[in-house]
Structure 1
Amino acid sequence: MTTIPGFRTHRIPVAEGVALHVAVGGTGRPIVLLHGFPQTHLMWRYVAADLAADHTVICPDLRGYGASDKPDHGYDKRTMAADIVAVAGELGHDEFALAGHDRGALVAFRAGLDHPDKITHLTCLDVVPTLDMWDVMHGTAAAVGFHLYLMAQPPGLPERLIAASPDVFFGHFLDAWTRDPGAIPPDVRAHYLDACRHAVPSIVRDFRASSTIDVEHDTQDKGDNQLRMPVTVLQQDWGLGGEELWRAWAPKLDHRTVTCGHFMAEEDPKLIADVLRA
């Protein structure tokens, strides 16, 4: 399986020389779903099929991931958010709801800050904003995020280390972050690993941006620019004060703690579809 059954796929230009691979299904009010790491748009297969009963559901592969283009630039979340606004515009939607998981949630967060006239509702799954993430991940609690520090290193070292054994590296997160191993069946796991294997440099660039320019952008906005739309955040209980961190950015916040694992759209798709539809 490489795309969501029943969905149409498109290549949509978003910038000069850059196009995204996008799956689209259903009719009705539009919602865009952004995948996380180490995945592609296929992570939304159950949720997207549910929502397509009464929504136009748009599922891109992010810049640098899956079947989308992998340029050597443009991995700051501001540019990646502009990609998503461009996709929606090309499909005829001036306004849309937006949900993101993991890396996709960071893109969604930036889209909400930069394009408040476009995003009607925002949902972020199992992240905290980039600036806050670096503040709270320290001491032994930072061990779970070792990959953040690895991919923050200057170009060369992380790419070579990861490319030496990509299936072990990316497969580690699919195993360690899943409470229900059956949520990611073998064919889907194989798809994720194959997609990541061919995207090591661009994935590293995405993460490296979160230790550099993304921090600069968040720092510029902190305290002055807030999310104006209704925001829902679903998180595992990390013990890191997620609700307080999010409330500083989102006055209209609905924060919920979930018991499923990190890959919640695959482990508890009914919960996620119900939350998004509500």
Structure 2
Amino acid sequence: MLGDMVEQHKVRVDDDVELFVTVRGSGRPIVLLHGFPQTHLMWRHVAADLAADHTVICPDLRGYGASDKPAGDYSKRTMARDIVRLAQALGHEQFALAGHDRGALVAIRAGLDHPAHVTHLASLDVLPTLDMWNVMHGESAAVGFHLYLMAQPPGLPERMIAASADDFFGYFLDLWTRDPAAIPPDVRARYLEACRNAVPSIVADYRASAGVDLDHDRADRAAGRTLTMPVTVLQQDWGSQLGFDAAALWRAWAPDLRHVPVTCGHFMAEEAPDLVAKELRTLLARPANRQ
């Protein structure tokens, strides 16, 4: 499904964690991080495009897909460290980084914690964690019901989701897609199988974003830390629906910002891969802010 000339590896990034990763192409490296409820497979179209002149690295995040799923730490700080170690193990001390959804939160944390390694950063359809929680209130919070469910203490969320995993994860694949053909049945089946086998770690990832990840963002905000590299954000216009200015929120974190509203659905790497690849190339053409 990923095509020819794709290398597949398991790479150790921690004492008890190996990440599954695909690598294709050659040239300046870019790491692409998937979102929820997906795996590295979501990048299949964009990766094929970028591989014409880049080394394209697509891992499954800790706790997802074919990567290891340890109990315990799913802070974005730890998951970002995984990605830096992965790139280093593949021979890249510096790399561009793009993330969608949950992967974007990992990418943001990597950019804040490891600016010497991340030359360019792209985020697809997400807000930084601190802002995400701040903008949801009243009726608008209903769109994020899953965030509140998975923020609860261990036990009940895992049991509830596991009892109807395909319905739960499939709901988001349907709700957030404007073009159902963008996720064909065989790809959908692979996403559902991967999520069905990763309920505890997926919940742990979300639970971290209601706790330790917020602590890290608050500390950065208090210290005035920002993303020092060029940043591109592709985002649906859900700010106007929920009553906030997404570009302004992003600019507080990313002074060197290009904010691009999009009209496709949430799964834009599959619904509008040409647009995503074009914007990533535009990002990579901007001068890097070297540390």
The answer, yes or no, to whether TM exceeds 0.5 is yes
Please give the alpha-carbon distance, in whole angstroms, between the structure 1 residues aligned to 2:60 and 2:107. 13
**Does residue 138 in structure 1 map to residue 128 in structure 2?**
no
1:253-268 mapped onto 2 (5 Å cutoff): 253-268=257-272
| Alpha-carbon separation, structure 2, partners of 1:140 and 1:41 | 33
Give the 3 Å change call, closer, same or farther, for CA 169–5 of structure 1 in structure 2.
Answer: farther
Which residue pairs with 2:289 in the alignment?
none
1:242 to 239, 246, 249: 246
Structure 1 residues 244-275: Cα deviation after superposition (integer angstroms, max 9, x where no partner)? 11000000000010000000000000000011
Measured in 1, the distance between the counterparts of 2:25 and 2:257 equals: 28
Matched, 1:204 2:208: no
1:122 corresponds in structure 2 to 121
Distance in 1, Cα, partners of 2:41 & 2:6: 11
| TM-score normalised according to structure 1 size | 0.98
After TM superposition, the runs of 4+ consecutive aligned structure 1 residues lying more than 6 A away are: none
2:215 maps to 216
Identity value in percent: 71
Distance 1:138 1:5, change over 3 A: farther
Q: Provide the residue aligned with 2:230 in structure 1.
A: 230
Structure 2 match to 1:18: 17
Partner in structure 2 of residue 91 of structure 1:
90
> What is the match of residue 112 of structure 2?
113
C-alpha root-mean-square deviation of aligned residues, in Å? 0.8
| Contact 1:4 1:42 survives alignment (8 Å) | no
Please list the CA deviations of residues 118-150 of structure 1 after superposition, one character each: whole Å capped at 9, or x if unmatched. Answer: 000000000000000000011111111100000
Contact conserved, 1:4 with 1:23, CA < 8 A, in 2? no
Q: State the TM-score, normalized to the length of structure 2.
A: 0.94
- CA–CA distance in structure 2, aligned partners of residues 179 and 156 of structure 1: 33
Structure 2 residue corresponding to 1:269, chosen from 262, 269, 273: 273
The CA deviation at 1:4 is 5.7
Query: Are 2:61 and 1:57 equivalent residues in the alignment?
Result: no
Q: Which amino acid aligns with 1:191?
A: R
SS across alignment from 2:69: coil
Letter in 1 for 2:172: F
* CA shift for structure 1 position 72: 0.4
CA distance in 1, matches of 2:73, 2:52: 34
Give the deviation of 1:5 after TM superposition.
Answer: 4.9
Deviation at 1:84, TM superposition (A): 0.2
Q: CA deviation at 1:74?
A: 2.1
Q: Match of 2:253, SS?
A: coil
Structure 2 counterpart of 1:116, one-letter code: P
Q: 2: distance between equivalents of 1:5 and 1:53? A: 13
Q: Deviations over 1:192-215 (max 9, x none)?
A: 000000000000000000000000
Match status 1:153 vs 2:157:
no
For residue 45 of structure 2, what is the aligned residue in structure 1? 46
Kindly state the Cα deviation for residue 73 of structure 1 after the two structures are TM-superposed.
1.7
Cα 1:220–1:4 change in 2 (3 A) is farther
| Counterpart in the other structure of 2:286 | none
- In structure 2, the gaps of 5 or more residues are 283-291
3-state SS in 2 of match to 1:100: strand
C-alpha distance in 2, partners of 1:16/1:184? Answer: 35
Distance 1:57 1:39 in 2: 18
**CA–CA separation in structure 2 for the residues paired with 1:164 and 1:128:** 30
- Deviation digits for residues 14-52 of structure 1 (CA, Å, limit 9, x no counterpart): 000110000000000000000000000000000000000
Q: Distance in 2 between matches of 1:60 and 1:265?
A: 15
Which residue is equivalent to 2:165? 166
Q: Which amino acid aligns with 1:155?
A: P
SS for the counterpart of 1:248 is helix
Render the CA deviation track for 1:170-205: whole Å, top value 9, x for unaligned.
Answer: 000000000000000000000000000000000000
Aligned counterparts of 2:184 and 2:173: Cα–Cα separation in 1: 11
State the 1:7 CA deviation: 1.3
Measured in 2, the distance between the counterparts of 1:43 and 1:104 equals 11
Aligned partners of 1:231 and 1:250 also within 8 Å: yes
